[in-house]
Amino acid sequence: MPSAIKSMDGVHHGLDQWNIEPDKIHVRPGFNPRGIPYEELDVDDLKDFIRVNGVRPLPALRVCLRNGRIELVMGHRRLKAIRELIAEGEPIKTVACQQETILADDKLLALAISENQGLALTPIQEAEAYKRLVNFNWTVEEIARSIGKSAGHIYDRLRLTEAEMEVKQAIQDGTVTVTDAVAVIKEASKTGNDQKVLLKKRQATKVDRRTKAMQSLPVEERLWSELCPLVVKYGANMVYNVLESHAILENIENTNE
């Protein structure tokens, strides 16, 4: 880190990194790849982690020196969590930081996307971040090379920016896959049909296909394919207990008939 930052108020040098007082780090609006305002970031999980483990296990924040002040490049959730904990009385004095070379705004954004740490970007957040790079006149190929993704991946994510609000919400909720959403958006752009109607039709078709496929399996295979996801999600004991309870209730119902 250059001597210019070393001599600034609130900066302390450690053995293997720079330690900076959190309130000395400036957060510039618009450079969080999540597209969520800094003030609205959810950091409760990070705060719980830091209370138990301290700040040392966290990756260093990435900062740069711009216009005479230390500016955050990456680590918005980490910085917010640390600041909130300090306000709540936690004795945190400094946070580990590494410096980035001063880059143009578009390159800083691309860097923040490609090296995003913590919670993964949702498909919609990713799409909006790529759209911002397109607005900086980046081509899809340039974005793909910079982010380390295929051009097809970038094209599909950019398609999501054309999704209607209901479709975006379904993607965020995880009830619709990106593949299905992209297919619906493409079909809607060709036919002029409503995305929500096309999505419902596509989902109904998939459910019908899966039901027919399930019904064609022998009983044992069908039961196993139904139970496997439940066992993975809830554990074998819980699934067994539920089935046992169901069998007991079924016996009672049969006795009362």
Instruction: Check pLDDT > 90 for residue 231.
Output: no
Which region among 11-25, 134-148, 159-173, 228-242 has the lowest average model confidence (pLDDT)?
228-242
Amino acid in the structure at residue 173: D
pLDDT in tens, 208-222: 665 666 566 566 665
Task: Tell me what pLDDT residue 64 has.
Answer: 84
Please state which of the ranges 13-17, 55-59, 62-66, 224-228 shows the lowest mean pLDDT. Answer: 13-17
Name which of 42-56, 153-167, 179-193, 208-222 the model is least confident about: 208-222
**Overall average pLDDT of the 74-89 stretch:** 92
Taking CA atoms, 174 is separated from 145, 171, 249, in Å, by 28, 5, 34
Instruction: Give 124's contacts (C-beta < 8 A, 6+ positions apart).
Output: 160, 163, 168, 171, 172
Distances (CA, A) of 77 to 3, 32, 62, 116, 153: 28, 9, 12, 11, 26
**CA nearest 5: which of 24, 22, 23?**
24
Return the pLDDT at 20: 92
Cα–Cα distance for residue pair 253/205, rounded to 1 Å: 35
Q: What percent of the chain has pLDDT over 70?
A: 68
Question: Closest by alpha carbon to 211, among 197, 201, 196, 226?
Answer: 226
Q: Per-residue pLDDT tens for 58-80?
A: 888 988 888 889 988 888 889 99
Mean pLDDT to the nearest integer, 105-111: 76
User: Token digits for 174?
Assistant: 């995880």
